[in-house]
C-alpha cells in the first residue's frame, strides 16, 4: 500500500503553471524530499497534499482514500511550517492540545499524549511557556510535536529548517530523520537545500518548473543524475559537451570527443556511437598533479590544463581549470596550493564520469 499517491497533479496560478501533471508515489513509512530551486512547484505540491490548495487537475490518494476534495481539517495530516506558525496566544501545552481537543479526545488522554509528544522533541517541562519565550529551534520542535501529536497518517514539512542557523539546522536534520524512522510515519519534506535532502531522505524527487525530473535514492541522484539540470543542481558539476566516437562493448566503455578534440573515456552500457552527450564531472573526482606524473595510471583519462583561479575553502581548494575550451572545477587538498596560470595535469576515473544523452 502506498503512503501517498499523486496522480497527474496540476496547479495553475493565472497563467503560471506551478505544478504540471505530477505523478508521484510515496511508500508507506518512507520520507521523501521534494527538492528544487524556488518556484519549482514543491511548496505548491505540498500545499495541495495538505488541502490548503485545490489542484486544478489530478488526484491525491492518502493510503487507499481519495482525499482530493477533502478540506484540510478532514485529511488528518500533520504540517510543519517554515516560520513555525505556532499560535502566539496559546501556551506550548495549548498549542499541542488544540488538535486533540477538536477531536474530542478525553482530557486525561490529551495530557498523556501532549507530554509524550513534548518528550519526543526533548521539550518536557516547557508546557506553560508561550512561543515568544522560546528560541527558534525550540519553536520549530514545538511545531513538530504539534504536527505529530494528532497521530497523522502523513507528516508534511515545508522547509522547516531554513529559519534556523547552520549548526542547529544540521543537528535538526538528524533529529527529524530519527524521529521519522522511529515513528515510521510517511513523510514529505520540501526543501531547496540539497545537503538537507541528501541527509534526510529515503528518496528524493527533483522538481524543475513544475515537472518531476528525477526520483531516486540520494546516492542514485548524486551519482547518476538523469539530466543536466539534476547534475547541476545537486552538488558541483562541470559540464563538457561532445559526441561518442568509439565504444568498447566488452568493457562497457565509450569515448567521447569534444569539438576541440578533447577525448574522454567514460563507462556506459547503453549509449551508442554517434550519440551527442553532456559529460558531467564532479570536482571531487578530478585528481590534480602540478607536474606530469612519471607513470600514467592505466585506463584513466589524462588531461592537461591551466589554473584560472583557486578559492580556499578550508578543507579543500576549489580550482577552476581551463582544459581546451572547457572550464573544469576541481577540489584538491590544501597541501600545495597551485597558482593562477600554472600548468596542471588532471586524471579522472572513467567510472566517475556521468554521461547524459542530449
Binding positions for another protein, rule: CB under 8 A:
50-52, 71-79, 81-83, 85-89, 98-99, 102-103, 143, 146, 150
Nearer to another protein, 146 or 192 (CB): 146
Is 267 in a helix, a strand, or coil?
strand
Nearer to another protein, 101 or 334 (CB): 101
Q: Cβ(45)–Cβ(60) under 8 Å? A: no
Least Å distance between CB 99 and another protein? 4
Cα distance between the two ends of the chain: 36
Cβ–Cβ contacts within 10 Å for residue 289, how many? 13
Least Å distance between CB 156 and another protein? 8
Nearer to another protein, 76 or 232 (CB): 76
Nearer to another protein, 10 or 91 (CB): 91
Nearer to another protein, 15 or 74 (CB): 74
Least Å distance between CB 313 and another protein? 36
Cβ–Cβ contacts within 10 Å for residue 261, how many? 9
Nearer to another protein, 85 or 164 (CB): 85
Least Å distance between CB 134 and another protein? 16
Q: Cβ(88)–Cβ(132) under 8 Å? A: yes
Closest CA to 55 of 64, 63, 65, 45: 45
The helix or strand, by DSSP H or E, that contains position 264, with its residue range, turns out to be strand 263-267
Closest CA to 44 of 6, 78, 73: 6
Q: What DSSP letter does each residue of 41-101 carry, written as one string?
A: SHHHHHHHHHTSS--SEEEEEETTEE-TT--GGGT-EEEE-TT----TTS-HHHHHHHHHH
CA dist 55 and 20 (Å) reads: 10
Least Å distance between CB 147 and another protein? 8
Nearer to another protein, 128 or 276 (CB): 128
The helix or strand, by DSSP H or E, that contains position 199, with its residue range, turns out to be helix 194-200
Least Å distance between CB 101 and another protein? 9
Least Å distance between CB 331 and another protein? 40
CA dist 125 and 115 (Å) reads: 9
Amino acid at each position: 500500500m502506498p503512503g501517498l499517491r499523486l496522480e497527474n497533479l496540476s496547479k495553475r496560478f493565472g497563467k503560471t503553471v506551478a505544478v504540471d501533471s505530477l505523478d508521484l508515489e510515496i511508500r508507506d513509512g518512507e520520507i521523501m524530499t521534494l527538492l528544487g530551486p524556488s518556484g519549482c512547484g514543491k511548496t505548491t505540491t505540498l500545499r495541495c497534499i495538505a488541502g490548503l490548495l485545490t489542484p486544478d487537475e489530478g488526484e491525491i490518494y492518502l493510503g487507499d482514500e481519495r482525499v482530493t476534495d477533502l478540506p484540510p481539517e478532514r485529511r488528518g495530516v500533520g504540517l510543519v511550517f517554515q516560520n513555525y506558525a505556532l499560535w502566539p496566544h496559546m501556551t506550548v501545552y495549548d498549542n499541542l492540545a488544540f488538535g486533540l481537543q477538536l477531536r474530542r479526545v478525553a482530557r486525561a488522554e490529551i495530557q498523556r499524549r501532549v507530554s509524550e509528544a513534548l518528550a519526543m522533541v526533548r521539550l518536557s517541562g516547557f508546557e506553560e511557556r508561550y512561543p515568544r519565550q522560546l528560541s527558534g529551534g525550540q519553536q520549530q520542535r514545538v511545531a513538530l510535536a504539534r504536527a505529530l501529536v494528532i497521530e497523522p497518517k502523513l507528516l508534511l514539512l515545508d522547509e522547516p529548517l531554513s529559519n534556523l542557523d547552520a549548526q542547529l539546522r544540521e543537528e535538526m536534520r538528524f533529529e527529524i530523520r530519527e524521529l521519522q524512522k522511529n515513528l515510521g510515519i510517511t513523510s514529505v519534506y520540501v526543501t531547496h537545500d540539497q545537503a538537507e535532502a541528501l541527509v534526510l531522505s529515503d528518496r528524493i524527487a527533483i522538481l524543475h518548473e513544475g515537472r518531476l525530473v528525477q526520483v531516486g535514492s540520494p546516492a542514485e541522484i548524486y551519482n547518476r543524475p538523469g539530466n543536466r539540470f539534476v547534475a547541476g543542481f545537486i552538488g558541483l558539476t562541470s559540464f563538457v559537451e561532445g559526441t561518442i566516437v568509439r565504444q568498447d562493448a566488452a568493457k562497457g566503455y565509450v569515448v567521447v570527443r569534444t569539438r576541440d578534440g578533447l577525448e574522454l573515456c567514460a563507462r556506459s552500457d547503453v549509449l551508442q556511437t554517434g550519440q551527442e552527450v553532456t559529460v558531467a564531472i564532479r570536482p571531487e573526482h578530478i585528481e590534480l598533479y602540478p607536474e606530469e606524473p612519471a607513470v600514467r595510471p592505466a585506463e584513466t583519462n589524462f588531461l592537461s590544463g591551466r589554473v584560472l583561479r583557486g578559492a580556499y575553502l578550508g578543507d579543500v581548494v576549489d580550482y577552476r581549470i581551463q582544459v581546451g575550451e572547457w572550464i573544469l572545477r576541481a577540489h584538491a587538498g590544501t597541501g600545495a596550493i597551485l597558482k593562477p596560470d600554472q600548468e596542471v595535469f588532471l586524471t579522472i576515473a572513467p567510472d566517475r564520469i556521468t554521461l547524459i544523452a542530449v
